[in-house]
Structure 1
Amino acid sequence: MNMNRRNLLKVLGLSAVGVATVPLWMDGWTSDDLPADTTGLDEDQKLVLAAMVDTYIPSGEIPGAKELEVDHFILAMVGGCFQKETQEEFLTGFNGLHQSSTEAYGSSFDQLSTQQRVELLIKLEATEKDPDKTINFVPFIKDLTISGYMSSKYIMENHLGYEFVPGRFNGSFPVEKSVYRNA
């Protein structure tokens, strides 16, 4: 794979800005912790985003991404952590998804069956490789969905065994043998 220097610097710069501006609520978040949406998505686009996260991580024995409101996490991340250019490409991505969905199936993405959604997302992820864009919409949403799901408080506490600060204190435990010896 041949990557030119300009694109590499753009990716590294975007990554550095994203990591440097990651807010503290990202680790172990709940929907109550998230700031208000500032992305400018309309209600139809929010339904499409909810359908996308539900397609990537559906509910089963444990809650899926839609139940954990990962779509709200994505909106908070895009609105609070990314530059204006990335936010504009994020909004434009919904138009491309809607166009692809209506061309392929004659319906909006959120109205498609789960199988149709999966097929369309796989197809779009394979074809979205524009080096001039800061983000490619479908892989961008997929990555944020996984990040949001895995960093949600529910998953961290119930499935990853994470204990939030201050954690547990075990001040009394038996000491069997001293590490230090008398000289």
Structure 2
Amino acid sequence: MNRRDALKKTALAFGAAAGTPTLLSLLQACAQTDRVTWTPQFLNEDQARFISAFVDFLLPKTETPGGLDVKADVFIDLMYSKTYDEAAQKQVVADIEKFNADCKAKFGKVFAELSQEDKTACFKDQEANSPKFAPKVWGTGVGPQEPVGFYRSLKSTVLWAYFSSEEIGKNVLSYDPIPGEFRGCMPLSEVGNTWSL
């Protein structure tokens, strides 16, 4: 399984649980924002650069659009601005500063300025040392869920924003705006691509 497929499965699982109308309306608002003139609503310039670098490293542009192409970073800034209370906003700022401080201590630079190799090493370290989401059965968590921390929370939000975007839903995933007949038993080979609806 390649990296993009693994991320797709993670995001689809997260999206099923997190797809609230408020977040979806924020995602639609981001699609209309012009990247050239984008001014962060909540983040300062350095924090916005961190989020954009995180998004771009996690979901770079390949034969499909990348995270920056669907403005996942714009969405995250808007989400922090519109849905987080003051305490949660302060925590996000502290978490970004800590993430960058850890990068600087280990690699000599903040995350946005790291080489691809150092960003890879940083992600591997975060992946190994961050709590995981509890296993799920049919979308329901099994057992208690400990806090997953900033890295995994941000990663999940980026993936949700990416796979919930109109661009990806219509042009990358299979999409049928008016579903047809129900075929309960069909060969897996006929299913094809993952569906956005």
Q: TM-score, normalised by structure 1?
A: 0.67
Please name the residue that 1:147 is paired with: 160
Displacement of 1:161: 3.1
Shift of 1:125: 3.9
Deviation at 1:162, TM superposition (A): 3.0
Q: Residue 93 of structure 1: which of 95, 101, 123 is its match?
A: 95
How many pairs are equivalent?
145
**Residues 51 and 110 of structure 1 are in contact (CA less than 8 Å); yes or no, is this contact kept in structure 2?**
yes
CA distance in 2: counterparts of 1:110 and 1:72, whole angstroms: 16
Aligned to 1:172: none
Q: CA RMSD in A?
A: 3.0
Aligned to 1:72: 74
Higher helix share: 2
Partner of 1:12: none
Match for residue 63 of structure 2 among 45, 51, 61:
61
Alignment partner of 1:159 is 2:172:
yes
Over 3 Å counting, the alpha-carbon distance change for 1:145 and 1:93 in structure 2 is same
Which runs of no fewer than 5 residues in structure 2 stay unpaired?
1-17, 132-145, 180-197
Assess if the C-alpha contact under 8 Å between 2:75 and 2:161 holds in 1: yes
Q: TM-score, normalised by structure 2?
A: 0.62
Give the percent of matched residue pairs that are identical in Structure 1 and Structure 2. Answer: 22
- Structure with max Cα Rg: 1
Q: Distance in 1 between matches of 2:172 and 2:20?
A: 27
Q: Give the counterpart letter for 1:63 in structure 2.
A: P
List per-residue Cα deviations over 1:124-146 (Å, max 9, x = no partner).
343345xxx96621111100110
Shift of 1:50: 0.5
Unaligned 5+ runs, structure 1: 1-17, 169-183
Q: Name the aligned partner's letter for residue 108 of structure 2.
A: G
